[in-house]
């Protein structure tokens, strides 16, 4: 569809090669090692944007960035966040309409 960006998720270099053959604009590298990411960047050579995802934390994000990927998804920011129970009580003061 013209104007609709499509991202293909891959978990191996073989899948990456298949995605490249489709001429997609963005490819997500899911749970790949740093070595695999570097190889993916080499193979893609700018033909598509590469997004790294899976297993990325604030501790290793700099190493992931150094592989040459274009985008990084850090799910660790939200995976372990605890929910917060919040409520709001509203009290109406004064007479209500029709009373």
pLDDT tens sequence across 58-72:
899 999 999 999 999
- For residue 94, give both structure tokens: 């004064």
Domain contains 88:
no
The domain containing residue 17 runs over which residues? 7-79
Give the span between the Cα atoms of 91 and 93, in whole angstroms: 6
Residue 99 domain flag:
no
| Spatial distance between the Cα atoms of 56 and 31, rounded to a whole number of angstroms | 8
Is residue 95 in some structural domain? no
Q: Looking at residue 82, what DSSP letter applies?
A: P
**pLDDT digits 0-9 by tens, 31-65:** 999 999 999 999 999 999 999 999 998 899 999 99
| CATH number of the structural domain spanning residue 72 | 3.20.20.70
Number of separate domains in the chain:
1
Q: pTM (2 decimals)?
A: 0.75
Between the two ends of the chain, the Cα-to-Cα distance in Å is 58
Residues 38, 31: Cα–Cα separation, whole Å: 13
Does residue 2 form part of some domain? no
């Amino acid at each position: 569809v013209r104007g609709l960006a499509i991202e293909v998720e891959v978990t191996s270099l073989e899948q990456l090669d298949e995605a490249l053959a489709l001429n997609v604009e963005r490819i997500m590298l899911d749970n790949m090692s740093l070595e695999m990411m570097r190889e993916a960047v080499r193979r893609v050579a700018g033909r598509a944007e590469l997004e790294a995802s899976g297993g990325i934390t604030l501790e290793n994000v700099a190493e992931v960035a150094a592989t040459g990927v274009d985008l990084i998804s850090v799910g660790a920011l939200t995976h372990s966040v605890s929910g917060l129970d919040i409520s709001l009580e509203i009290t109406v003061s004064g007479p209500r309409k029709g009373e």
